[in-house]
């Protein structure tokens, strides 16, 4: 168990920069989920922490120890791979014991630890089997077991759930979270799945194009996304974005169709006429006359609610989530809930906080 | 189309199946005959006396002299002047072929490991150097090789038989290709488990390669066993003679009558070890060719 500190970690492959300086402080026992689209550098970040890649610049500290220059074996970390990487010729027991054997632990200690982990993961009856005789979920558990028996300072998960079917994924997700809490081992979990990220993490690192776009708790990321990328990435279906300009001394925004939306949480600084991007989640739109006119193109009934996909008169896409299985084809007028409006800078995409709250961030 | 009654269709299907079975079996039997007949002739030849074969008619049924012929082949050898017992030659061949096969596998495994898993300067240059040697047949470099062996004083020795044949570009290439199919995750998992390069090689790579090793062993053993030109050149001492060379030396140049019965018996004996290796390794061999364990 330990803390993990990344300072200004950069990585280039040849001349191609992948990470542009990532800073991260992970507290002891914390579960951090690194989430982002493919190619954002999240796996590279994990591999740098594991020691499988060397950072071009920056520092990696585990606890008080600078491990930047250390080999994976000397970092005392354990990793769960996407395809599990169980050695096919070894039994489950041998797979789990291999790392301990190399470290020269006495046999009784190895057996004790493997049995303990096997009991914890409910794979005690599988110890003599070969990986190919196991189902996907069982392999996943063995891969976890291999990490647990090591009793490492750090767990690293590289998209470990993406090879499982949907039902197992949900089940293993909960199990990983339970185990991690119970063992209290500091963990870094990489995924591209935002639902996994929201449910698993104490905090999220949303990666975008080699930067950590936002590091915060899942609810904070959802409620106060740092920029339009994070806002669009977290939440399903994605947030709607509307072009607007600042009005009324920063107290409201004017949309393209001259609809003026006042800010419920206070005025923003900025010149009148400054370009803004307004974000509104599909579930924060209500049908109301005099709102935005949406031409509905597709209705997806989901049971408890319905998704309506459509376009504004200017062609911008708009998704609306309404309760129940109602709903019309044709046209619908919707109004954003003022308190759920997100305001971003129209040029940089950065979030603009209201004046009286800007100090808390 | 009108539907025919069920039993007519069933009979028709049964006939069709039978016809297919007959055709395939006829093809197989013809093939087996073509392959097996010469061997059958050799077996029969090894059971008749020299004079029976010498008369010129080729018997197709076993004769009464099998025990005497095999005893002579094993114990004293054929040929009027310088017979060498087959027993000794078999042992020579066995040792040579085993050393060649094992040596080739050991060397190519390690060099393929280096080329496939490590980054070092001039890596591809070395790879291509190895690859290029594939293009030179043994006969082209046989004179310089002989010169080197003479300088090293390795003529008339088992080392002389084995060492020049012990490196294999083909096996290196095959192992490299196999190693490239091994997922990177195994390497990384082993790194995180704390396994160094040597442990990874011994604990993970070798067990994963064992079917390939078995398959190559069979091929390379037979390659070694069938070596003719090089053993003929490097060894004069008849106590080191290999069975393939010995067998050809038993066939005279025409001055004397060949003891075909003993030659056939020796040929049969010469076939046994490779057949044994194939049978022994068959399970692994087939596995190595058809199935990859990943």
Mean pLDDT value of segment A250-259:
81
> Chain A to chain B, count of Cβ pairs less than 8 Å apart?
59
Interface test with A, best of B192, B212, B293 (most A CBs within 10 A): B192
Quick check: A320 pLDDT over 50? yes
CB A24 within 8 A of CB A215: yes
DSSP letters of A105-146?
Answer: --HHHHHHHHHHHHHHHT-GGGTTS-GGGS-HHHHHHHHHHH
Task: Please give the share of chain A, as a percent, with pLDDT higher than 90.
Answer: 38
Interface test with B, best of A43, A50, A73, A103 (most B CBs within 10 A): A73
Q: Answer yes or no: do B199 and A87 touch at CB < 8 A.
A: no
Q: How many structural domains comprise chain B? A: 1
Q: Answer yes or no: do B194 and A102 touch at CB < 8 A.
A: yes
Residue B19 included in any domain: no
Query: Domain of B283: which CATH number?
Result: 1.10.3720.10
DSSP letter assigned to residue B205: I
pLDDT at A167: 87
The domain of B206 spans 86-290
Closest residue of A to B197, CA-based?
A73
> Which bin fits A349, alpha (ψ -120 to 50), beta or left (φ > 0)?
left
pLDDT at B289: 59
From CA B228, how far away is CA A238, in angstroms rounded? 75
pLDDT at B294: 43
Q: Answer yes or no: do B192 and A83 touch at CB < 8 A.
A: no
Most distant CA atoms of chain A, gap in Å? 76
Q: What is the CA radius of gyration of chain A?
A: 24
* Tens digits of residue pLDDT in A269-284: 888 888 889 999 999 9
| Mean pLDDT value across chain B | 86
Residue B27 included in any domain: no
Task: Please give the share of chain A, as a percent, with pLDDT higher than 70.
Answer: 97
pLDDT at B254: 64
> Which bin fits B153, alpha (ψ -120 to 50), beta or left (φ > 0)?
left
The full set of domains in chain A, from first to last, is 4-224 (3.40.50.300), 237-357 (2.40.50.140)
Q: How far is CA B4 from CA A77, A91, A124, in A?
A: 72, 57, 60
From CA B133, how far away is CA B177, in angstroms rounded? 17
Mean pLDDT value of segment A310-325:
86
For A221, counting Cβ atoms within 10 Å of its Cβ (0-12 exposed, 13-18 middle, 19+ buried), the class is buried
Q: Which candidate from B185, B196, B199 shows the least CB-CB separation from A85?
A: B185
Question: Which chain A residues have a beta carbon less than 8 Å from that of B208?
Answer: 88-89
SS3 A222: helix
From CA A274, how far away is CA A68, in angstroms rounded? 45
Residue B210 included in any domain: yes
pLDDT at B114: 92
Interface test with B, best of A13, A43, A62, A81 (most B CBs within 10 A): A81
* Tens digits of residue pLDDT in A176-194: 998 889 889 999 999 998 8
Range with the lowest mean pLDDT among A130-134, A250-254, A280-284, B172-176? Answer: A250-254
Tokens coding A227: 């920029």
pLDDT at A301: 86
Considering only CA atoms, which of B175, B212, B202, B198 is closest in space to residue B293? B212
In this structure, the strands spanning A57-62 and A65-66 are antiparallel
Quick check: B293 pLDDT over 50? no
Residue B54 included in any domain: no
Range with the lowest mean pLDDT among A53-67, A317-331, B92-106, B190-204? Answer: A317-331
Confidence at A40, pLDDT banded by 50, 70, 90: confident
* Tens digits of residue pLDDT in B14-53: 999 999 999 999 999 999 999 999 899 888 888 888 888 8
For the entire predicted model, the pTM comes to 0.79
In this structure, the strands spanning A154-158 and A186-191 are parallel
Containing A305, the helix (H) or strand (E) segment is strand A305-311
- Neighbouring CB atoms inside 10 A of B34's CB total 9
Question: Which chain A residues have a beta carbon less than 8 Å from that of B195?
Answer: 73, 98, 102
Mean pLDDT value of segment A237-260:
85
pLDDT at B252: 72
Confidence at B82, pLDDT banded by 50, 70, 90: low
Confidence at A360, pLDDT banded by 50, 70, 90: very low
pLDDT at B2: 66
User: In sequence order, what are the beta bridge partners of A216?
Assistant: A204
Helix axes A166-183, A136-149, angle to 10 degrees: 20
| Closest chain A C-alpha to B41 CA, distance in angstroms | 46
Quick check: A48 pLDDT over 90? yes
| Mean pLDDT value across chain A | 88
Confidence at B139, pLDDT banded by 50, 70, 90: confident
Residue given tokens 């056939």 in the structure block: B264
* Tens digits of residue pLDDT in B229-240: 899 888 888 888
Q: Which candidate from B194, B196, B208 shows the least CB-CB separation from A99?
A: B194
CB A140 within 8 A of CB A92: no
CB B82 within 8 A of CB B238: yes
Residue B70 included in any domain: no
Quick check: B166 pLDDT over 50? yes
Q: Which candidate from B183, B196, B199 shows the least CB-CB separation from A85?
A: B183
In this prediction, the answer to ipTM > 0.85 reads no
Confidence at A326, pLDDT banded by 50, 70, 90: low
pLDDT at B94: 93
pLDDT at B80: 53
pLDDT at B202: 93
Quick check: A361 pLDDT over 60? no
SS3 A322: strand
CB B147 within 8 A of CB B183: no
Quick check: A108 pLDDT over 60? yes
From CA A131, how far away is CA A93, in angstroms rounded? 10
Quick check: A352 pLDDT over 70? yes
Quick check: A251 pLDDT over 90? no
Residue B23 included in any domain: no
Containing B109, the helix (H) or strand (E) segment is helix B86-117
Residue B18 included in any domain: no
């Amino acid at each position: 168990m330990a803390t993990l500190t990344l300072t200004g970690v950069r990585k280039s492959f040849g001349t191609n920069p992948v990470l542009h300086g990532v800073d991260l402080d992970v507290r002891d026992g914390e579960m951090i989920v690194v989430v982002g689209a493919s190619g954002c550098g999240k796996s590279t970040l994990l591999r740098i922490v594991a020691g499988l890649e060397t950072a071009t610049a920056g520092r990696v500290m585990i606890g008080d120890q600078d491990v930047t220059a250390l080999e994976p074996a000397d970092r005392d970390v354990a990793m769960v791979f996407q395809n599990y990487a169980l050695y096919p010729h070894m039994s489950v027991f041998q797979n789990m014991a291999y790392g301990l054997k190399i470290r020269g632990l006495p046999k009784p200690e190895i057996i004790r630890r493997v049995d303990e982990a096997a009991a914890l993961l409910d794979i005690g009856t599988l110890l003599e089997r070969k990986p190919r005789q196991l189902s996907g979920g069982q392999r996943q558990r063995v891969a976890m077991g291999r990490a647990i028996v090591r009793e490492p300072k750090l767990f690293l998960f590289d998209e470990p759930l993406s090879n499982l079917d949907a039902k197992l994924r949900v089940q293993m997700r909960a199990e990983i979270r339970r185990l991690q809490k119970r063992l209290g081992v500091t963990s870094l979990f990489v995924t591209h799945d935002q639902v996994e990220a929201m449910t698993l993490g104490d905090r999220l690192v949303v990666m975008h194009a080699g930067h950590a776009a936002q590091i915060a708790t899942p609810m904070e990321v959802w409620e106060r996304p740092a920029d339009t990328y994070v806002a669009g990435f977290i939440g399903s279906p994605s947030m709607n974005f509307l072009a607007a300009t600042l009005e009324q001394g920063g107290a409201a925004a004017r949309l393209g169709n001259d609809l003026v939306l006042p800010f419920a949480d206070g005025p923003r600084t900025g010149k009148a006429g400054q370009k803004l991007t307004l974000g509104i989640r599909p579930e924060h739109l209500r049908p109301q006359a005099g709102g935005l006119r949406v031409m509905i193109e597709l209705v997806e009934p989901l049971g408890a609610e319905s998704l309506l996909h459509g376009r504004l008169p200017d062609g911008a896409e708009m998704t609306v989530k309404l309760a129940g299985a109602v709903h019309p084809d044709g046209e619908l007028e919707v109004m954003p809930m003022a308190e759920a409006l997100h305001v971003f800078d129209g040029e940089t995409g950065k979030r603009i906080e209201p004046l009286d709250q800007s100090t808390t961030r | 189309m009108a539907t025919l009654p069920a039993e007519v269709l069933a009979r028709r299907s049964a006939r069709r199946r039978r016809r297919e079975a007959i055709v395939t079996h006829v093809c197989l039997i013809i093939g087996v005959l073509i392959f097996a007949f010469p061997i059958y002739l050799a077996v029969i030849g090894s059971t008749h006396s020299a004079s029976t074969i010498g008369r010129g008619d080729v018997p197709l049924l076993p004769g009464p002299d099998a025990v005497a012929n095999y005893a002579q082949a094993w114990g004293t050898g054929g040929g009027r002047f310088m017979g060498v017992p087959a027993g000794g030659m078999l042992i020579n061949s066995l040792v040579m072929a085993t050393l060649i096969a094992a040596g080739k596998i050991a060397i190519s495994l390690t060099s393929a490991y280096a080329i496939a898993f490590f980054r070092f300067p001039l890596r591809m240059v070395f790879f291509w150097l190895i690859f290029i040697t594939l293009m030179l047949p043994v006969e082209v470099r046989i004179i310089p090789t002989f010169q080197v062996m003479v300088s090293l004083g390795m003529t008339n020795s088992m080392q002389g038989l084995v060492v020049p044949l012990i490196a294999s570009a083909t096996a290196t290439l095959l192992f490299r290709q196999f190693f490239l199919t091994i997922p990177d995750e195994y390497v990384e998992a082993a790194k995180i488990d704390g396994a160094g390069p040597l442990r990874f090689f011994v604990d993970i790579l070798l067990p994963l390669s064992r079917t390939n090793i078995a398959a190559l062993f069979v091929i390379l053993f037979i390659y070694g066993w069938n070596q003719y030109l090089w053993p003929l050149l490097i060894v004069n001492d008849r106590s080191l003679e290999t069975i393939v060379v010995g067998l050809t030396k038993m066939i005279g140049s025409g001055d004397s009558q060949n003891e075909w019965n003993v030659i056939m018996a020796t040929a049969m004996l010469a076939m046994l070890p490779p057949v044994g290796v194939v049978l022994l390794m068959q399970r692994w061999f087939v596995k190595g060719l058809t199935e990859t364990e990943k």
